[in-house]
């Protein structure tokens, strides 16, 4: 039997109340559920049959997707935020979409990234983007980029990111990168505030191996907005397609065009 795990941050009383209400409603159908606090000390018990229901904004979804991906579980993306570029389920539709997910295995498979640091065999994970950025204010970082072993551009900038199509509407968008339909299998290299160099993004195949090498000053390695390591000059990170996608429950209700108009204040949904 599929166990439902509602995920939220402890300060989101609206999300926690919604989880309790919908959990009680679904239990009348024979389903079991629990609530996991993303900022709590414990990890949820998940397996490939679990259904993770993310209640919050994009940040909540990224944390929830990481948990679901590690277990091979599916994730439902509920929008309790203002824009929610990554989210396609309204708070009023949660119960209906969860019921549909319990009776169907249809998912959208989102490309995720594996990150390997120099001198380490351990891999980190990102769904949106990997960023090598300056470690201290007032100092740029020089980053040399490679794709499949071929040297590309060297940037003096606030940082350089590798984004997925899912992450194209996040930091990549803010840095001037292209918006890409989330189902496309590709990676986007986007410099952040580059100095005296090309400021355009480079789009490469999802099968590519991207290397970001720090040339001069130490840099921070950030995955989906979370700092995970300091990279020293001469070292770097390799970014490649994760062999397992993030399995987002398909709803068919994601309207990217309306969200872009609303975000850019060019119209209203």
DSSP alpha helices (H): ranges in the chain? 13-27, 58-71, 94-103, 171-174, 256-263
Query: What distance in Å separates the CA atoms of residue 219 and residue 143, rounded to the nearest whole number?
Result: 9
Query: Which residues 6+ apart lie within 8 Å of 25 measured at CB?
Result: 95
Query: What distance in Å separates the CA atoms of residue 155 and residue 145, rounded to the nearest whole number?
Result: 8
With contact defined as beta carbons under 8 Å apart, do 133 and 192 qualify?
A: yes
Rounded to 5°, the CA angle 135-9-124 comes to 45
C-alpha of 259 from chain center: 17
pTM: 0.90
DSSP character string of 135-194: SSTT--EEEEEEETTEEEEEEEESEEEEEESGGGGTHHHHTTPPP--TT--EEEEEEES-
Q: Catalytic residues, which ones?
A: 58
Most distant CA pair in the chain, distance: 62
DSSP character string of 100-117: HHHH---EEEE--EEEEE
**Structural fold of domain 3-110+245-263:** Rossmann fold (3.40.50)
**Structural fold of domain 113-241:** Tumour Suppressor Smad4 (2.60.200)
pLDDT in tens, the chain (269 residues): 799 999 999 999 999 999 999 999 999 888 999 999 999 999 999 999 999 999 999 999 999 999 999 999 999 999 987 666 678 788 889 999 999 999 988 999 999 999 999 988 889 999 999 999 999 888 899 999 999 999 999 999 999 999 999 999 899 999 999 999 888 999 999 999 999 888 999 999 999 999 999 999 999 999 999 999 999 999 999 999 999 999 999 876 556 666 666 666 544 43
Question: Domain segments of the chain: what residues?
Answer: 3-110+245-263, 113-241
- Check residue 268 and give its pLDDT: 41
Query: Which residues 6+ apart lie within 8 Å of 219 measured at CB?
Result: 132, 133, 134, 135, 141, 143, 159, 230, 231
Question: CA neighbours within 13 Å on the CB side: how many for 152?
Answer: 23
């Amino acid at each position: 039997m599929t166990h439902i795990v509602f995920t939220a941050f402890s300060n989101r009383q609206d999300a926690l109340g919604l989880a309790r209400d919908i959990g009680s409603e679904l239990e009348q159908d024979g389903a079991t559920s629990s609530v996991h606090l993303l900022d709590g000390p414990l990890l949820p018990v998940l397996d490939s049959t679990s259904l993770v229901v993310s209640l919050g904004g994009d940040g909540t979804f990224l944390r929830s997707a990481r948990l679901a991906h590690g277990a091979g579980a599916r994730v439902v993306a509920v929008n309790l935020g203002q824009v929610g570029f990554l989210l396609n389920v309204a708070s009023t539709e949660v119960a209906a979409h969860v019921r549909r997910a319990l009776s169907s295995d249809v998912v959208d498979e989102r490309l995720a990234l594996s990150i390997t640091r120099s001198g380490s065999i351990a891999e980190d994970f990102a769904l949106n983007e990997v960023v090598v950025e300056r470690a201290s204010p007032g100092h740029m970082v020089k980053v040399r980029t490679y794709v499949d072993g071929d040297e590309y551009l060297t940037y003096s900038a606030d940082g350089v990111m590798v984004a997925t199509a899912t992450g194209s509407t996040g930091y990549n968008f803010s840095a001037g990168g292209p918006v890409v339909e989330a189902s496309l299998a590709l990676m986007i290299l986007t410099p952040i505030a580059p100095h005296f160099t090309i400021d355009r993004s480079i789009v490469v195949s999802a099968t590519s191996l991207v290397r970001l090498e720090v040339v001069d000053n130490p840099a921070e390695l950030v995955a989906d907005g979370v700092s995970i390591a300091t990279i020293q000059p001469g070292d770097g990170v390799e970014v490649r397609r994760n062999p397992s996608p993030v399995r987002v429950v398909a709803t068919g209700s994601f309207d990217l065009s309306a969200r872009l108009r609303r975000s850019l204040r060019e119209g209203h949904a």
